[in-house]
Amino acid sequence: MVASICMFIVFGEIVDEVLEGDSHELDTKILLMLREPGNTDSPLGPVWFEEMVRDFTSLGGMGPLTLITLTVFVYLILRNLKGHAFYLLATVITGTALSNLLKIGFDRPRPDLVPHGSMTFTNAFPSGHSFMATVVYLTLAVILSQAEKSRSAKIYILSLGVLISVIVGASRVYLGVHWPSDVLAGWVIGAGWALLFWVLAEYLKMRNVLKKRGDEDTQSSG
């Protein structure tokens, strides 16, 4: 809970920086650093790399995240882990609602310094791809890591969730569709939201609302 509260506090600090305009100079420098010198129309790197970054950014899109969430939800239901399934669904649905509300509330325009390398349909702050990728992949990582007894396997799964979230957010800046502060805010609020629901899930587990993996295995063998 403490970590989640810290994330929300950091998000508030980012909001202050953005609203006061203090982040604009650094945002601009980073965006321009990722463009060919003297040619803001072209991102750094070869064309194949730009296309690969578009593939990465799609990992945080509505379609893929919805497909992944529903696929895992059904799997958890089939494994008789209904508590975990609805924990996942609740985290993602409420996270999506919060992301949209924040975008509407802050109403920050997209960057206009460089051409957008990907289609956009909503406001900029916070980055929805970064927010929802962090929520979904961290929550999935938590659920999967609980099924592992090996400490190294747990660390690997959790690290993978963080890595995918970071890649998705970084791709949004590279493609010029978000200011860096949009992405940072998305990461922070997404992590805070995922942590908040993880704490809630642990509380429900203690109250025997969510089944532990060992309990499910015992029932299956019986």
Residue 12 corresponds to which amino acid? G
Flag whether 217 is in a domain: no
Q: Is residue 222 assigned to a domain?
A: no
Q: How far apart are CA 43 and CA 213, in angstroms?
A: 46
- What are all long-range contacts of 144-153, with beta carbons under 8 Å and residues at least 24 apart? 146/212, 146/213, 147/213
CA separation for the pair 21, 10 (Å, rounded): 17
Question: Would you put residue 42 in left (φ > 0), alpha (ψ -120 to 50) or beta?
Answer: beta
Q: Which pLDDT tens digit goes with each residue over 73-110? A: 999 999 998 888 999 999 999 999 999 999 999 989 88
Q: Is 42 part of any domain?
A: yes
Q: Is residue 21 part of a domain?
A: yes
The string of pLDDT tens digits covering residues 29-52 is 999 999 988 888 888 999 999 999
The pLDDT tens digits for 160-208 are: 999 999 999 999 999 999 999 999 999 999 999 999 999 888 877 776 6
Asked if the structure places residue 66 within a domain, the reply is: yes
Q: Report the domain count for the chain.
A: 1
Q: Residue 71: inside a domain, yes or no?
A: yes
In a domain, 183, yes or no: yes
Alpha-carbon gap, residue 104 to 44, rounded angstroms: 32
Residue 221 located in a structural domain: no
Domain that holds residue 127: 2-211
